Structure 1
Amino acid sequence: MILPDINLPAILPDLNLLDNVLYTTSKSQVTPGDLIKFVIVLTFSIIFLRVIIIYLRRTLKDHVSKDVGEPILKLLYYGSLVVIFISILPLIGIDPSGLLLAGGVAGIVLGFASQNIVGNLVSGCFLMFERPIKIGDQVDVNGIAGYVTDIRIISTLIRTYDGLLVRIPNQQVFTTNITNIVGHPVRRFEYTIRIRYSDDAGAAIWLIKDLIDKEPFALLSPSPSVFVNELGDSSVNIVVRIWAPVSEWFGLKTRLLWNIKKTLEENGIEIPYPQRVLHIKSETEKKPQLAEEPNINRLEATEPVLNFEERVLN
């Protein structure tokens, strides 16, 4: 049996193609094989870093809070990726030292051109390390109140109480006043209860204190206080101050206020309406000179007429 003459080099691809020179740099000559190596190493590095980050996230889940762990993992991932990218640049004929020099000059130019972005970037780093707010906190930043959902490199995301997602630049967050509503474990609230002057203020205070003692979330230390604060125009003003855990603060505040109103009304103590006393003064006598003035004026007005008639008759 005679096999046909097959030209293998014509069928197989030309392996020498990978060794052809694409371009030449001051350091070396770059071939298609070098480009393939660069892409393979970079792709493998990205996959490897993602696997490491996922493993670290699962490992640190029970030991480090999310607001601390996520910024660290992001910094580790992007920092490692930048280092690997710079280290494999010689594969494609690029000198990292020259790139760093050019990047430094370009960074200065871009820094002047984009000061706000750089400011947000630096502020984001400060927020991650200083941690004035954390993911999940209820905050008020420049009049925007809600829950912190994410702290990114450039901006912070806040979900407002009515469900809106607001993105605030980190520079604005870091340089403005931040009110962390849940930053302290306990929080105080205050009422001003107004009663009538005819009601017994001592009985009202006793009833309010009794309601506070029945609330399990009203803290004993710091102790609550109920006292007469002011004698108003139409009411006696009683101030109620109570400390509660920050997680139960709002529910206790709304529930207790309604219970105080019902209890006081059941015991005959009512909240008065605004009252004003008007004094009306009437004058029944007229001044004598007011009655005489019209006669004088009338005589003065008729005198020229009488004189005229006398001249005519004569």
Structure 2
Amino acid sequence: MADNTTEILVGNSFLDTTFFGAITYGNLLAAVIILVATYVIAKVISVVVMRVLAGKVEINNSTFLAKLVRWGTYFVGIVAASPFLHIDFSGLMVAGGIVAIAIGFASQNTLSNFVAGVLLMFERPVGIGDNISVNGIEGYVEDIGLLSTTIRTYEGIYVRIPNASMFSSDITNYVAHIARRFDYNIGIRYTDDADKAIKVIKEVIEKHPYALKNPGPSVYVDELGNNSINLKVRIWCPSGFWWDVRTDMLWKLFQALRKAGIDIPFPQLTLWYGEDAPKPAKVAKGTGFSAQEVLGKSEASPENAIKVIK
């Protein structure tokens, strides 16, 4: 009895029964399982691709790429199931390989741009709407296609960059980080109080709604120049408002310093005649130098001046 059972399960089982030609029910079941699994895997992969690229590339490009991945998975599944159905794709594969090589040689640039476009979509160094600089071109990313990327410059000019060039170039993304810093170099007169100027600048920064507190601003004396005390001002703000904050803050700082009696000096040259240096005089408001210094006069006696001239 045991021998008969083994013979039924192994030698004459249902799965070994011929279904069509040399195809058995076991072959048919294996092929069906592979094809169903391929269909499920292809659907899952296409959904993942759509979610990964959502909001980063246009919907048409992400849909096309998802379909390409899905049909590629279908092809792999059919090739995997073909031996169970006794289908020989060897001749077709050879012919397809020859055609693919011919097409590859004829369209090397197109294929390289396509591959680079796919890699850019997955690596995501830039996204639509980002403010970037690449190959000396600055502007906003308008479209990331499978073959090229379109940038709208600040002047409103549209520039198309092949993805192969885009992928191999240094890309500067100005908004990839949530915060961005800008610097000012502000000069004040030597007769002004630098500590007071720093306090005034910090108060203006603290009142601005887009000036970040973490990382916070930095204001300090950076250099003692020929004509001024140079202050360094460093401010962080959200990357999306960088330009607006930078232009708005500069004028507010100037107005606040002027209101506090702190002015920005101009390059000046002081000349005097005579044997002795001029005595300190009352500072003229708004210049940082006395009226005598501005006019090139000294308090030396006329006789000394005439003696020097002779």
* TM-score (structure 2 length as normaliser): 0.62
Shift of 1:143: 1.5
Query: CA 1:80–1:195 in 2, change beyond 3 Å: closer, same or farther?
Result: same
Shift of 1:107: 3.0
Q: Which residue of 2 is the match for residue 197 of structure 1?
A: 190
- Per-residue CA deviation, residues 250-291 of structure 1 (Å, 9 max, x unaligned), is 211111100111111122211111234568999988xxxxxx
Structure 1: runs of 5 or more not aligned: 1-51, 88-94, 286-314
Q: Which residue of 2 is the match for residue 76 of structure 1?
A: 66
* Secondary structure, aligned partner of 1:265: helix
* Secondary structure, aligned partner of 1:230: strand
Q: Which residue of 1 is the match for residue 158 of structure 2?
A: 165
Q: Which residue of 2 is the match for residue 254 of structure 1?
A: 247
Supply the RMSD in Å over aligned alpha carbons.
3.4
Q: Which residue of 1 is the match for residue 292 of structure 2?
A: none
Q: Which residue of 2 is the match for residue 44 of structure 1?
A: none
Residue type of the alignment partner of 1:74: F
Shift of 1:116: 2.5
* Secondary structure, aligned partner of 2:104: helix
CA contact (8 A) 2:57 2:144 kept: no
Shift of 1:76: 2.5
* Secondary structure, aligned partner of 2:266: coil
Match of 1:66 among 55, 74, 99: 55
Residue type of the alignment partner of 1:202: D
Query: CA 1:144–1:206 in 2, change beyond 3 Å: closer, same or farther?
Result: same
* Secondary structure, aligned partner of 1:135: coil
- Per-residue CA deviation, residues 57-77 of structure 1 (Å, 9 max, x unaligned), is xxx79x973226834421133
Shift of 1:111: 3.1
* Secondary structure, aligned partner of 1:66: coil
Q: Which residue of 2 is the match for residue 105 of structure 1?
A: 98
Instruction: Tell me if 1:226 matches 2:215.
Output: no
- Per-residue CA deviation, residues 85-144 of structure 1 (Å, 9 max, x unaligned), is 9x9xxxxxxx97655433422333443444332221221111011111112211111121
Match of 2:267 among 249, 260, 274: 274
Query: CA 1:152–1:100 in 2, change beyond 3 Å: closer, same or farther?
Result: farther
Residue type of the alignment partner of 1:158: I
Query: CA 1:203–1:112 in 2, change beyond 3 Å: closer, same or farther?
Result: same
Deviates more, 1:71-80 or 1:166-175: 71-80
Q: Which residue of 2 is the match for residue 303 of structure 1?
A: none
Distance 1:83 1:173 in 2: 28
Instruction: Tell me if 1:135 matches 2:125.
Output: no
Distance 2:229 2:119 in 1: 50
Query: CA 1:240–1:76 in 2, change beyond 3 Å: closer, same or farther?
Result: same
Shift of 1:153: 1.2
CA contact (8 A) 2:183 2:233 kept: yes
Q: Which residue of 2 is the match for residue 148 of structure 1?
A: 141
Residue type of the alignment partner of 1:127: L
Q: Which residue of 1 is the match for residue 278 of structure 2?
A: none
How many pairs align? 221
* Secondary structure, aligned partner of 1:67: coil
Shift of 1:189: 0.9
- Per-residue CA deviation, residues 149-201 of structure 1 (Å, 9 max, x unaligned), is 21111111112222221110001111111111110111111101011111111
Structure whose alpha-carbon radius of gyration is higher: 1
* Secondary structure, aligned partner of 2:199: helix
Distance 1:265 1:188 in 2: 25
Instruction: Tell me if 1:125 matches 2:118.
Output: yes
Structure 2: runs of 5 or more not aligned: 1-42, 79-87, 275-306
Residue type of the alignment partner of 1:185: I
CA contact (8 A) 2:273 2:308 kept: no
* TM-score (structure 1 length as normaliser): 0.61
Give me the identity figure in percent: 47
Shift of 1:80: 5.3
* Secondary structure, aligned partner of 2:177: coil
Distance 1:79 1:170 in 2: 19
Query: CA 1:64–1:132 in 2, change beyond 3 Å: closer, same or farther?
Result: closer
